[in-house]
Each structure stands twice: as structure tokens, then as C-alpha cells.
Chains A and B, each alone.
Chain A
Amino acid sequence: MDYFLTVAVFTAITTLGVLGTFVLTGLTGLFSLGQAAFMGMGSYIAAVAVVKYGVPFPLAVAMAVVISLGVAYVIGYTTLKIRQDFFALVTFGFGEALRAIMDESVKYTGGAMGFSGVPQLTTPWLAFGSLAAAVWLVRNVRNSKFGRDCLAIRTDELAAQVIGIDAFGHKLKVFLLGASLSSFAGALMAFFTTYVEPAMFGWIQSAIWIIMVFFGGRDSLTGAIFGAATLSALPEILRFASQWRVLIYCLIILMIINFRPAGLFGRWELSLENIGLRRRRVGSETPGGKSHA
């Protein structure tokens, strides 16, 4: 495959995974250091099912998402009632535990050596199409009452409860949505890179995803996509600068956080209305209100 196309597909799949962090951390304000672990879970379940048990690819992907949803339900149900700073710690523990399981169950996963020999079944069209569909779904959610509820809970959970919003139930739904997006991305990733290893899905990866969301603007879906796409492609693009690229990467992030604390896009969303191609309709306001970019 062409080098640029490879980078583009890789970026698209990563962006799909980061959408999970966008709804959970960006909109709802729940810091999960285990989000990448869901990607890892999706990768391993789908890859092992196909390679070891001969499960057809589409079914394996569906299995990966469904099992991840089940795990997310258990994790979410038990942890989303505790305080949000503890939630970050518990998801950190979950992510690392999952990574340890992948590391230790050598018989099935190949352990720290990684799991190779996965057929390359994720075509560029599948990756781009999946991303487009996911963006459309997340955009619909954000523009509905769910987007408002996310922001309301993030800003003042107590006030949200008093006006009838079931904060726990809402957070659980958001957690499940995030987990399904990230695990789906994981399944696609395994069948694109043809090789997965536990180290790809540790808490550092989850932290990088959070950085990507805040870089683009945590209230803006456009920003999250831009942040994920740019920051995951940037290390590749900066490859010519060899040993300086990590430094440049960090500098760019620091500049953004310093000069645009609300992220690159703030609350601005790319839409036909916002670039003046269509007139605004009643009720089409985004949850964040006016654009502030």
C-alpha cells in the first residue's frame, strides 16, 4: 500500500478510537485512563477469533464490540457512582489490568511478543467509511438532548439531577458508547496493521487521546477529529526532523494549551450553516450555543 494511504488509514482508525474519548472526556468530563484498553480489547478479541478459531471477519468484529460492551457495562456500573477523580484512577487500574492479561495469557495472545499473522482485511474504504459513519452518529448524539445532558452533567451534576437528569444512567450510556467506538476501532486496527501488542494500549495511549481531544477543543467534534487526525499523523509527517520531532510535537501542544485553553476550535463546529452555505434553522443551535472560534 502507498505510504501516504497507509498513514491516512492509520489516522482514520485512530480518530475513530478517539471519538470514544471525545464523548466520554470531552463532552461529559469523565477522565478515563483506560479508553485505549477498550481498543486493545477489540483488537485482541477480533484477531484471536479470526486467526485461532476461524471466525469470519465481520462476525469477529461484531463479537469484539459486543464483548467490550459487556465489560464496559460491568466496569461502568460499578465505578460511575464514585467521585470523578477516583473514576480516573479506577479506569487506569482497569486498563493496566487488561494489558497485564494480554501480556500474561501467552497461549492465546502471544504475550508481550505480540500477536502477529493477522490477515490484512481492513481496506481503506472500510476504514474511511466506518469513520464517516461514526462521525455522523456522534454528531447526531451531540446535537440531541444527549449532548446537552453531557454538558449539563459536566458543568454541574447536582443541578442536572435536580431538573430530572439521571446522571448515573446518562454516564453509563456515554461510557458504553465510548467503549463501542474504541473497541470497534481496535478491531479495524488489528486487521490493518496485521500485528498487535499489549504495549500499544496502555494508559499512556489513553492519555494521548485525551490530549488530542483537548488540543482540538473538547466541546467541538470538528476539533476532536482535527486533533486526533493531526496529532496521530504529526509524528509521521515530522519524520524528516528525526530526533527533533518529539520536541516539536510537544512544543506545538504546549503552544495550543497556552494560547487557546479552550482548544484549537473552541466550540466551533464545521457545518453548512457555519460556513455560510445554508441558512440557520430554529432549534439547530449546537449545545454549546454560539460559535466562539
Chain B
Amino acid sequence: MPEDQVLLEVKGLSKRFGGVVAVDDFNAKIGKSQLIGIIGPNGAGKTTILNLLSGIYACDSGEIRFNGRNITGLPSFEIGRLGIARTFQNIRLFEDMSVLDNIRSAYSWRAGYGLLKAMVGWKGVGSSEHRVVEQSRHWLEKVGLKENLHEDAGSLPYGLQRRVELARALAGEPQLLLLDEPAAGLNPAEVRGLIELIRRLFNELKLSIILIEHRMEVVMELCQWIHVQNFGVTIAQGTPEEIQKDPVVINAYLGEEFECSR
């Protein structure tokens, strides 16, 4: 991969919680407009990787470079502003706020006015808010939400909440989007819709996506490259075809099923 095409580069990323090594020496290189997946059994450290990338946890060792800039140890709000957005496995919306306001919050740091201007009702506040509402509606339409924009986000059905959260992440206009099990809790029809939605957004917006998922159809259909994690260690990586045939991967997964069926 040529150097100017690299969006995210992760070197030797490690994180331990007490005696447990959650992530051990994770390395990855993600180019612009790439969709990669991270799979692995429960407790493999997948979500920890996303938490490290988005600055929620500080890593014990390793380096994260984004657009050539070292972002290791930056607070999560700065990483968000640099262009890494994410969703959460157990949806984290602002439940008491309207759907529209959830998206508007993603524009706060770009609103173009400070506390003093807001206090005295400076005239730029109104036009800024107007623009933000229009842009928020645009993102909501992108994920297929046109109605119920004034309802509480927490009162929507689960599948729609996922879409609101996705729209909120997109409103940050990220170059890199981290999706933590976006298909969790969705029924088969909704999973199909989600696959189409992610594919469409990926093609339209030319962003890079890192996807964590348990539903194999989602990963195998969407991802160009897959990392397989087990007990914090990368045990394999490759294209979906290679991963499906890899004996190490089959062992890790089938070994588990053997245990279960006994």
C-alpha cells in the first residue's frame, strides 16, 4: 500500500486489564475506502480494539497513526473531531432527546459560536442552528429515517435506534467509521437491510469502515479483509475466501462448538 493511501496504521497495540491480556500486539494497516472486519469468539478483545482506537481506553503500549498523525493517547473527543466515528454494541443514544437533536449534537463542536454568543442570542446562532437542522435531516434520510424526527430517540424500536446511532456517527463526517456489532439484536430481514445500507454508505461516502460482527453473512459479504482474533491475539488475517478455508480459524470456531454440543 503506498504511504499516502494509508488512513490508519496500528502498531503493537496492547491492553491488559489486571492479569487479563485483552489485546496483545495488534497490528493493522487500513487504506482509504477500505472495509475490513474483525471477527473472533466472545472475549477475543474485539470491542477493546475499537475502544482503544476511539480513545475510550488508553493503551498500555503500541502506536496508532491516523492520516500520518500519531493519535495515541488523545482524548476521545479529539479523536472524534479528527474524523474517527463509531457506534456501540449496546446502542448509546441520548434517549431523552429527540431523534433530530441526537444528530444535531454531533455538530456542536462545529457550530461556529461560543457560550457568550449563545447567551446574548447573537443572530448567527439562528442561522447556524438552521443549517445544522438541514444537515441532520440529510443524514437521517441517508439511513432511511424521514419520520418521527421529533420523537424521543429512546422510544423508537431497536432497529431504528441502530439507524439513528449510525446517522449520528455519519454526521461527524468521518473518514473512518467503527461499527461494533451493528447487526446485534436485528432479525434476518433487518440484517439484510443493514448489509445493503452499509454497502450503499460505503460506496457513496468513500469512507473506510472497521466492522466487528458475529453474524458471518455480514462480514463475509461486506469485508475486503478480515482479522481473526482469539484471546487477544490475531490468529489469522486475509480475504473472506482465505479465512473461510483457514484451518486455524476453523479450529478456533469449531473447537468451541464441539465444547458446546457435548
Contacts and interface: CB of A to CB of B under 8 A. Distances in A.
Contacts, number: 124
Contact of A146 (B92, B110, B118, B151): B118
Given A164-B106, A165-B109, A148 B97 contact: yes
B260 interface: no
Contact of A155 (B97, B104, B126): B97
Contacts of A159: 88, 92-94
Interface residues of B, number: 46
A288 B97 contact: yes
Q: Interface majority SS on A: helix, strand, loop or mixed?
A: helix
B96 interface: yes
Interface string B81-111: 1000110100011111110110011111111
Given A165-B109, A289-B152, A156 B98 contact: no
Contacts of B108: 145, 148-149, 152, 163-165
Interface in A156-187: 156, 158-167, 173, 177
Contact of A285 (B100, B119, B120): B100
A148 B133 CA distance: 13
A162 B56 contact: yes
A167 B77 contact: yes
Contacts of B130: 282-283
B150 interface: yes
Q: Which of A148, A151, A159, A164 has the most CB of B within 10 A?
A: A164
A162 B101 CA distance: 16
B145 interface: no
Interface of B: 54, 56, 75-77, 80-81, 85-86, 88, 92-98, 100-101, 104-111, 113, 115, 118-121, 125-126, 129-130, 132-133, 150-152, 168-169, 171-172
27 contacts: A136-B121, A137-B119, A140-B125, A144-B113, A145-B118, A148-B105, A151-B101, A152-B105, A152-B108, A161-B76, A162-B54, A162-B76, A162-B86, A163-B85, A163-B168, A164-B77, A164-B80, A164-B81, A164-B110, A166-B75, A282-B130, A283-B130, A283-B133, A285-B150, A289-B150, A289-B151, A290-B151
Interface of A: 136-137, 140-141, 144-146, 148-149, 151-152, 155-156, 158-167, 173, 177, 219, 282-283, 285, 287-290
